Every structure is written in C-alpha cells, then in structure tokens.
C-alpha cells in the first residue's frame, strides 16, 4: 500500500485512525480476533484479540469497532468498557446470502435510467477523484474510508459513485470490501456501507440505486458468500434501503464503535 500517511480524509482524529488502521493492516489480517475496519481498529472476537490490547487501543486511538457480537455477549462488553471509561451504542446488523442478494439487486437494477450516471476513477489524477468521493461522504456525515481502501489497493473492493450527467457532480456513493481475516467465521462476508445520497435527491430511490450495484459486485465479482451492512435502528431510510436490497435484520448479533465516554460520534 502506498503512503499510509496520505490519501486519508476527515477530521484530524479520523485521519489518525485511518493511518493507524492502514499501518496495522498486514498484522491485523493475520491476527485472530482482529478486523481490518479501515476507518478504525476492530475486533469480531474480543476475548481472542485480548482485552489488554482493546484497552490499549481505546487509550491510544480512542476508538475500536466491535463486529458481529452475539447479543447475549453485549452486556458483558458494555460492562468491561464501562470499567475503562468507555461506552458503545449498538447498531443493527443486516446481512444476506449471495443468491438472494444477486437476484434482488439484478431486479432492482433491471430498469435502465440515465438521469444519474456511474462515475469511474479516471486513468490519471486518481487521488483527486478519491478526494472528491471522500469529501462527498464526509459532507453527508459518513466517515470516509482511506483512498487506499476505496481504490482496492488494500484488498478486493467495489465502489459505486453516481453523478449528475449535467455537471458531473456526485449524487451518491456506496462501497464494499472484506474486513474479516482468515481466522474469522465471517471471512467470506463482505461489508458494505458509506452509503450517502445528496440531500435534495433523498427519498427518490437513489440510495437503492447506488447500494444495489455495490452489493451485486460483492457477490458476483468479488466472490462474497454473504454481505452485511450496519445501520442505526433510528435511521429508517438506511434500514429500509438495506432491506430493499435483499439483506435481513440479524437479531442474534450487533456491531458498533466503542469510544471513551462522551466522545463525539464517529459516523452516522
């Protein structure tokens, strides 16, 4: 991966977390219980990763994401986090199998539309392209991923950007890649997210139109057996968009980012 200190985006704190995540990518890919979450450190098995390491990460980086935690394990994690002055508010997890997602997204994308067009990375000036994409995500309150991850340099990935053909301005984004390592039961599951739609275009199906191609690419091009997305229960548009694309609410697991008590919310 090139220049871990650059091609990052967001607040100084977010860039610091992205740089730390990129710098640790190789060892994270090899560590049982660790997750390459791209925007922040992560774990899908806190006991396996070790609470000393989790506490040190929270002390040094002030954030770590907990992924695919069984609901009956959540109270214990909350308790352990409280003991070190940290807190977590759980997000709902949605996921689905390859065939369901492929068929659902094929149906959703069958009707040709030309009011928005896919925007692809140019042959040159790619850094400027990813910076624009990251700026669009951040402007919608969604913490962006580093360009090294959006571009696929850090591993197989799918990015969808829709633009207004009239002026080329970005209308919507979505992204998918594989965060779980070879030790994880979720290693063949892709994560999708950073879905953002320009404010004036919301509620007209654009979210579905940008999310569906990314999910379809994850299962058809990247070989994902399942795809997952996270959303706050209160984010009705996001939950509904995810379900329309063929994913279903998992009532047995939760995910989200732990931070020190009172820290500013990391992302939408």
| Interface residue list for ligand COA (CB under 6 A) | 140-142, 195-197, 202-208, 231, 235-238, 240-241, 244, 268
Pairing label, strands 34-36, 41-43? antiparallel
Cβ contact 88:256 at 8 Å: yes
Residue closer to ligand COA, measured from CB, 183 or 244: 244
Min dist CB 249 to ligand COA, Å, is 14
- Is residue 53 helix, strand or coil? helix
Min dist CB 173 to ligand COA, Å, is 9
Pairing label, strands 41-43, 226-231? unpaired
Residue closer to ligand COA, measured from CB, 33 or 193: 193
Residue closer to ligand COA, measured from CB, 224 or 245: 245
Residue 36, classified by CB atoms within 10 Å of its CB into exposed (0-12), middle (13-18) or buried (19+), is buried
Residue closer to ligand COA, measured from CB, 132 or 183: 132
Residue 185, classified by CB atoms within 10 Å of its CB into exposed (0-12), middle (13-18) or buried (19+), is exposed
Min dist CB 75 to ligand COA, Å, is 24
Min dist CB 53 to ligand COA, Å, is 27
Say how many C-beta atoms besides its own lie within 10 A of residue 102's C-beta.
18
Residue closer to ligand COA, measured from CB, 168 or 204: 204
Residue whose Cβ sits closest to ligand COA: 207
């Amino acid at each position: 991966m090139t220049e871990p200190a650059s091609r990052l985006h967001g607040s100084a704190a977010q860039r610091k977390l992205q740089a730390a995540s990129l710098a640790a990518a190789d060892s994270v890919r090899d560590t049982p219980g660790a997750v390459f979450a791209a925007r922040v450190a992560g774990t899908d098995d806190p006991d396996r990763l070790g609470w000393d390491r989790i506490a040190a990460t929270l002390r040094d980086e002030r954030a770590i994401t907990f992924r695919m935690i069984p609901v009956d394990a959540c109270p214990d994690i909350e308790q352990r986090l409280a003991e070190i002055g940290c807190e977590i508010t759980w997000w709902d997890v949605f996921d689905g199998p390859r065939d369901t997602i492929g068929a659902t997204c094929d149906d959703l994308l069958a009707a040709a539309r030309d009011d928005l067009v896919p925007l692809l990375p140019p042959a040159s000036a790619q850094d400027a392209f990813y910076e624009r994409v990251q700026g669009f995500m951040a402007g919608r309150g969604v913490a962006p991923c580093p360009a090294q991850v959006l571009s696929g340099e850090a591993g197989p990935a799918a990015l969808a950007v829709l633009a207004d053909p009239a002026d080329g301005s970005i209308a919507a984004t979505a992204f998918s890649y594989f965060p779980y390592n070879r030790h994880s039961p979720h290693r063949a599951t892709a994560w999708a997210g950073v879905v953002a739609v320009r404010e004036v275009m919301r509620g007209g199906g654009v979210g579905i139109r940008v999310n569906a191609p990314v999910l379809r690419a994850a299962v058809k091009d990247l070989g994902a057996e399942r795809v997952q997305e996270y959303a706050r229960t209160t984010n009705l548009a996001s939950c509904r968009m995810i379900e329309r694309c063929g994913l279903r609410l998992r009532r047995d697991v939760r995910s989200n980012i732990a931070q020190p008590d009172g820290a500013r919310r990391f992302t939408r």
